[in-house]
Amino acid sequence: MEILVCVKRVPTVGGAITLTADGRSVDTRMSGFTISPHEECAVEEAVRLVERFGGSVTVVTLGPVAAEEQLRSCLALGASAAILLELASGVEAGPVATAAALFSVAQFSVAQSAVARSSVAQQSVAADGGFDLVLLGNEASDTGDYQVGIRLAHLLGRPVATGIKSLSVADSGESVVASRTYRGALETFSLPLPCVVTVKEGINLPRYPSLPGRLRAKRAAITRVPVSPEPEGLRMTSLCVPDAPRQQATVLGHGVAAVPALVTALSELGVIS
């Protein structure tokens, strides 16, 4: 099974999120970078599938040269190859341009050479000769667009399932079974291969990279493809950091006099009836 995993370089935010002065991006001056938790789970899921059924895992990202660090982290986890769709410094791509750039990679067969991939933006190859499965995170942890996976599937003309928290290959090997929970109900889908699946954090517990894996990733060659995304009609105007939920405590009373109020509160919570 040949699997492509699409990842994104995002800021590592451990505390309060602050925005830049124009309100259009997360202020990263005091933070490091990583990949979204959903995408880390996508890499782990791909590696597990390949360990079971054979094949290879290719990771791809659209971003600056510095995004090689995140690709090497994925290689350390067990990915076989990595492709950087390189953006010029300061250039950003929205979900439309990102899906278009990933499409140029996703339609390539893994059997093709790195030379062919280097001209990926100019060539077109039949989609049925490409990867069996394309995995993405359900949404990026910085912008939360929820769009790239669906847009990519549309460009490829492949079936897609989103928000997946359980993924398995059917006995026939010709389809995958994907499940998710929606409003308390379990939804299960059967998708013929090739297809696109976006996964959510919790589908698995990502492994820690081993020392041999880190050394192998450090030496691995990464295919770099310069990309100049076309301007897109869909533009992000601003980001908004939601207000943090406030916590408050209510004093029901003192001593025995507080018992009736306590009983009422427990009844409202369903603890007693």
Report angle CA 234, 13, 71 to the nearest 5 degrees: 70
| Closest to 31 measured CA to CA, from 17, 46, 47, 41 | 17
Sorted by sequence, the CB contacts under 8 Å of residue 110 that are 6+ apart come out as 2, 56, 58, 81, 130, 131
Report angle CA 224, 42, 233 to the nearest 5 degrees: 60
> How far apart are the C-alpha atoms of 46 and 5, rounded to whole Å?
7
> How far apart are the C-alpha atoms of 102 and 6, rounded to whole Å?
8
Classify the phi-psi angles of 77: left when phi > 0, otherwise alpha if psi is within -120 to 50, otherwise beta: alpha
pLDDT tens-place string over residues 192-223? 999 999 999 989 999 999 999 999 999 999 98
Question: Hey, which bits of the chain come out as E strands?
Answer: 2-7, 9-11, 33-35, 56-63, 81-86, 133-137, 160-164, 166-169, 175-182, 185-192, 195-199, 223-226
pLDDT tens-place string over residues 41-52? 999 999 999 999
Pairing mode of beta strands 9-11, 81-86:
unpaired
**Going residue by residue through the chain (273 aa), what tens digit of pLDDT does each one get?**
899 999 988 877 666 677 888 877 777 776 778 888 899 999 999 999 999 999 999 999 988 888 899 999 999 999 999 999 988 776 777 788 888 888 877 765 444 434 444 444 333 322 334 789 999 998 877 777 778 999 999 999 999 999 999 999 988 888 999 999 888 899 999 999 999 999 999 899 999 999 999 999 999 999 888 887 777 776 777 777 777 777 778 888 888 888 888 888 888 888 887
Domains and CATH numbers, the chain: 2-247 (3.40.50.620)
